[in-house]
Structure 1
Amino acid sequence: MYVCNPASPPEFLARISGVIFDCDGVLVDSRDANRMYYNLIREGIGMLPITPEEEDYVHMHAVGECLDRIIPAERREEAEEVRRNLDYRDIFPYIFLEDGLVELLETLEGLGVRMAVHTNRTSTVELLLAHFEIDRFFSPVIAAGALKRPKPDPEGVHRILADWQCPKDAVAYIGDSALDERSAAAAGIAFWSYKNPGLAAAMHLPDFDSLRVCLSGLAAK
């Protein structure tokens, strides 16, 4: 696996015309917010906070799958009622953009590289992108609620590829989880792991600044 290094930018970057981003853990640091959100649901029906293992799970999966995992089946309707009465915007102060993200997005935009989001968030991703004023960079935005099969199924990636009409070898998926890795592999596109060198990836990104500098160096040639 190549580790992104501005001193030796890989040649394959020169042919990239589209980049797909995961949301949680890639665009934003939302781990604390996700834990808070699901703990509020559990608290609302008198349950204890989620465990560390459950926290890992809810950070990656769609909300329906998360509730299946952390709420007993006989209490799902109670949990759904609590969830319907939560305002996700109240959690925004606990979500932060990843360092260097905006600068990378601006660089990709300047290079004419298309950008999309594919996330297992169900219905809050557009609200989140607008809150941070980065929604203008992404088209399309594919959330789990719009899919028959969320990640790791490649349905969302296939939708983006169809919208862009880009060859697969010109598109990369940036993600931080095994679900992202599997979704990219199933769709036949390159996977770049973000802050997770343990994943099987064509390139590991320790941070966004490294990728930005690599792209800027190639553009200057």
Structure 2
Amino acid sequence: MYVCNPLSPPDFLGRVKGVIFDCDGVLVDSRDANRMYYNLIREGLGMLPITPEEEDYVHMHSVTECLARIIPADRLEEADTVRRNLDYDDIFPYIFLEDGLVELLDVLAGRGIRMAVHTNRTNTVERLLRHFEIDNYFSPVVSAGSLKRPKPDPEGVLTILAAWDLPKADVAYIGDSALDERSARAAGIEFWSYKNPGLLAAMYLPDFHSLRRCLAPEAAGT
């Protein structure tokens, strides 16, 4: 696995024409927000907060899968009612853009590289992108709510490839979880691991500044 290093940018960066981003843990740091969201649902049912293991799970999976994991089956309808009554705007103050993201997006856009989002969020990703004023960078935005099969199924990646009409060899997927890795591999595109060196990836990104400097050597000193 190549570790992204501006001093020796890999040759394969030169052929990239499209980059797909995961959302949670990649575009944004939302771990605290996700924990709060699902704890509010559990609190509404009179249940205890989620466990650390459950926290890891809800950070990666769709809301349907998460509720099935943390709520008893006979209370799922009740949990869904609690969820629909939550105001997600109250969660936004606990979500933060990843450091260096906007600068990287500007470099990618300047090089004519297309960008998309593929996330297991169900119906909040568009609001999140608008909230941080980064929605104009991405097309398409594919969420679990628009798919028959969420990650790790390759359906979302293949939907983006079809919209772009680009060869698989020209597209990379940036993710931070095993679901992202498996989705990229199943779709036959290159996977770049963000802040998670334990994944099987073509490239490991310790931060977005390193990737930006690889793509724009003139920015190496910034």
Q: What range is the shorter-chain TM-score in? A: over 0.9
Look up the match of 2:23.
Answer: 23
Partner of 2:63: 63
Aligned with 1:204: secondary structure?
strand
Q: CA deviation at 1:218?
A: 8.8
Matches within 5 A, 1:32-181: 32-181=32-181
Q: Which amino acid is the alignment partner of residue 69 of structure 2?
A: R
Structure-2 separation of matches of 1:102 and 1:89: 22
CA distance in 2, matches of 1:183, 1:91: 28
Q: Deviations over 1:88-107 (max 9, x none)?
A: 11100000000000000000
Gap regions ≥5 residues in structure 2: none
Q: Is the 8 A contact 1:176 1:194 kept in 2?
A: yes
Q: Is the 8 A contact 2:115 2:137 kept in 1?
A: yes
- 8 Å contact from structure 1 (residues 28, 97) kept in 2: yes
Asked if the contact 1:18/1:114 (under 8 Å) is kept, the reply is: yes
Name the amino acid aligned to 2:71. I
Partner Cα distance (1:77, 1:176) in 2: 31
> What is the rounded CA distance, in whole Å, between the counterparts of 1:218 and 1:22 in structure 2?
27
Within 2, Cα distance between the matches of 1:191 and 1:112? 20
Aligned residues: 220
- Any gaps of 5 or more consecutive residues in structure 1? none
Give every structure 1 segment of 4 or more consecutive aligned residues whose post-TM-superposition deviation is greater than 4 Å. none
Quote how far apart the aligned CAs of 1:217 are.
2.2
Please report how far the alpha carbon of residue 108 of structure 1 lies from its aligned counterpart in structure 2 after TM superposition.
Answer: 0.1
CA distance in 2, matches of 1:82, 1:166: 42
Q: Is contact 1:16–1:171 with CA below 8 Å preserved after alignment?
A: yes
> How far 1:215 sits from its partner (Å)?
0.2
SS at match of 1:99: coil
Q: Distance in 1 between matches of 2:209 and 2:187?
A: 27
Paired with 2:149 and 2:122, the residues of 1 have a C-alpha distance of 12
Cα distance in 1 between the residues matched to 2:126 and 2:12: 31
2:183 corresponds to which residue?
A: 183
Query: Residues 42-67 of structure 1: CA distance to partner in whole angstroms, max 9, x if unpaired?
Result: 00000000000000000000000000
| 1:204 shift after superposition | 0.1
Instruction: Specify whether residues 150 and 213 from structure 1 end up closer, same or farther in structure 2 by C-alpha distance, changes over 3 A only.
Output: same
- The Cα shift of 1:219 comes to 10
1:108-163 superposed Cα distances (whole Å, 9 cap, x missing partner):
00000000000000000000000000000000000000000000000000000000
Q: Identity percentage over the alignment?
A: 80
Residues 194 and 205, structure 2, Cα contact 8 Å, conserved in 1: yes
CA shift for structure 1 position 25: 0.0
Give the conservation status (yes or no) of the 8 Å contact 1:111–1:219. Answer: no
For the residues of structure 2 that align with 1:179 and 1:208, how far apart are their CA atoms? 20
CA contact (8 A) 1:14 1:218 kept: no
- Compute the TM-score of the two structures, normalised by the length of structure 1: 0.98
Q: 1:10 maps to which residue?
A: 10
Cα gap change, 1:219/1:28 in structure 2, threshold over 3 Å: closer, same or farther? Answer: closer
Q: Return the offset for 1:77.
A: 1.0
Deviation at 1:74, TM superposition (A): 0.6
